[in-house]
Structure 1
Amino acid sequence: MRALYISHPQVRIDPEVPVPQWGLSEVGRARAEAFAARGLVPADAMIFASDEHKAVELAEMIARGAAVTVDAQMGENDRSATGFLPPDQFEETANRFFATPMESVDGWERAIDAQRRIIEAVAGAMARVQPGQTAVFCGHGGVGTLLKCYLGGWSIARSEDQSRLANPGGGNGYAFDLMARKLYCDWTPMEDLTAALIQGA
């Protein structure tokens, strides 16, 4: 069954606020609103989101008043052990996170565990979706990449991350079929997503 995974776009970075509570920036909100306004997602689609504020914001825009199912198990890899990191330090730590998936990097959730968690969360959500109904998952670049690696049958690698393949600020998506373990596209900026890609021809 076809589904869309889409990461939240740019956020308001505030070192004094826990990362899961960050909201979309003006740029991120404008991009999300423009995507929602295109009406690519059917009105009867099931919309799922991580419980992080930025993902819920995106989901609510896409849902256009419809219900959004929020699941904490769809959240980004747990980085609470370090909290906010300056960009250069974050990039170095994220590189190690992807490079050593069986190890905890500076107390972060292991990549292999985060991958297992997002796969199980998406599988549980898809079990609630009716045949022919579109499912949209609003989440994050890290776990989105881990899910994509599973779907593609690839080892966990930073080279598959959205920052390497699409808009580095986020707001990228890919269409997939979990049961068939199939990707219909790679990370694609939300501006370039189409109804045919999301819903199938």
Structure 2
Amino acid sequence: MPRIARYLTHPEVQIDSLIDIRHWSLNAKGRARVAALAASDALRGTRHVISSDEVKATDTARPLAQALGADLWIRPALHENDRSATGFLPPDEFERTADRFFARPDDSVRGWETARAAQARVVGEVHRLLAQIPAADDAGDVLFVGHGGVGTLLYCALAGLPIDRRHDQLAGGGCVFAFDLPDGLPHGPWAPMESLIA
């Protein structure tokens, strides 16, 4: 059977407007969701966990890698789309800005990294990382842990879809999609992480 790669987004975070968003950690609900996934055998066979270096992503990846006895790689290039030009935005304002980010992929919306550039970065990094993992039969599955924005851009690229927020993850995060290796074709759209356990 072909090996599987999965892309999992971090679940709910502790929002603090006084802290750089790259340093936000998971809140109690997010930690509980990760703990439930770690306690299941849903990801059995995963040998490599590869995470963005943002705290909310590593808060998700570390317990899973530990439970699986898997290698954990931290890769800065898997970070969320660069929003440092605005920093924290109130939820309604953030959603409006994110809508524009996806709708105008070649434009820098309010100084954000463009969607096209973020897509090229994350797709390129995923391919580079997968090329570093041996293709032997016992190489196991791969779990990427990251963020909803760039995860959606990756999904669009793999599925051959134009950049569009219609393909975004479900509200609340903690969503996953899988794709076969080596062809990279997604099995389907985003699903809640709990769907792996059910």
Structure 1 vs Structure 2 CA RMSD = 1.5
What corresponds to 1:177 in structure 2?
180
Q: 1:150 aligns with which of 157, 163, 166?
A: 157
What corresponds to 2:60 in structure 1?
58
User: What secondary structure, in the 3-state scheme, does the structure 2 residue paired with 1:183 have?
Assistant: coil
Q: Distance in 2 between matches of 1:86 and 1:143?
A: 20
What corresponds to 1:21 in structure 2?
23
> CA shift at 1:127, angstroms?
1.1
Gaps of 5+ in 1: 196-201
- Asked if the contact 1:47–1:137 (Cα under 8 Å) also holds between the matched residues in 2, the reply is yes
Q: Distance in 1 between matches of 2:186 and 2:45?
A: 23
User: What secondary structure, in the 3-state scheme, does the structure 1 residue paired with 2:49 have?
Assistant: strand
Q: 2:103 aligns with which of 88, 99, 102?
A: 99
> CA shift at 1:178, angstroms?
5.9
Q: Distance in 2 between matches of 1:43 and 1:182?
A: 20
State TM-score, norm by structure 2: 0.92
- Asked if the contact 1:43–1:63 (Cα under 8 Å) also holds between the matched residues in 2, the reply is no
Q: 1:159 aligns with which of 151, 166, 170?
A: 166
State TM-score, norm by structure 1: 0.91
Q: Distance in 2 between matches of 1:185 and 1:194?
A: 17
- Asked if the contact 2:46–2:142 (Cα under 8 Å) also holds between the matched residues in 1, the reply is no
Gaps of 5+ in 2: none
> CA shift at 1:193, angstroms?
1.6
Q: Distance in 2 between matches of 1:120 and 1:179?
A: 15
> CA shift at 1:128, angstroms?
2.0
Q: Distance in 2 between matches of 1:78 and 1:44?
A: 29
> Does the alignment pair 1:134 with 2:141?
yes
Q: Distance in 2 between matches of 1:123 and 1:32?
A: 26
> CA shift at 1:185, angstroms?
1.9
Q: Distance in 2 between matches of 1:130 and 1:44?
A: 14
Note the 1:118-133 alignment, pairs <5 A. 118-131=122-135, 132=137, 133=140
C-alpha deviations, 1:103-147, integer Å up to 9, x for none? 000000000000000001111111122334210000000000000
Q: Report the count of equivalent residues.
A: 191
C-alpha deviations, 1:67-117, integer Å up to 9, x for none? 310011000000000000000000000000000000000000000000000
> CA shift at 1:44, angstroms?
5.5
